[in-house]
Amino acid sequence: MSRLSPTAISIITLLNNMDELIVLSNNREGAKDAMRAMKVYADNKSFPLPEEKIYNFYAVLLDSRPYTLSSLLKDLAKEVVRIDSKR
């Protein structure tokens, strides 16, 4: 099993924080801000993120149930692991 880079670990931590903001606090605006911060962090670290998945998250952020948003964030975390393992 390969180890994750510190950048990938930080991104996954941010995704987990977003999940908690949505599921526990129902703070969708905070989750949106955290997603924006994650994108800036990844760009600064030259870590490619799946833009389409991020746009999908933004598109359904206000209308979807917490479980749906949580699933999107988990899918994004899996993608981060996959991208990191290829680097």
Domain contains 11 = yes
**Predicted pLDDT at 2:** 65
Domain contains 86 = no
Structure tokens, 38: 């994650």
DSSP state of 5: P
Domain count, the chain: 1
Print the domain residue range for 41: 6-81
Give buried/exposed letters for 14-47 (b at 16+ CB in 10 A, else e): bbebbbbbbeeeeebeebbebbeebbeebeeeeb
Domain contains 15 = yes
Q: CA-to-CA distance for 23 and 76, rounded, in angstroms?
A: 16
Domain contains 45 = yes
Would the pLDDT of 8 be above 80?
Answer: yes
Domain contains 14 = yes
Q: What is the pLDDT of residues 24-62, one digit of tens each?
A: 999 999 999 999 999 999 999 999 999 999 999 999 999
The dihedral built from the CA positions of residue 39, 18, 28 and 72, taken in this order, carries a sign that is positive
Using a cut of 0.85, tell me whether the model's pTM lies above it. yes
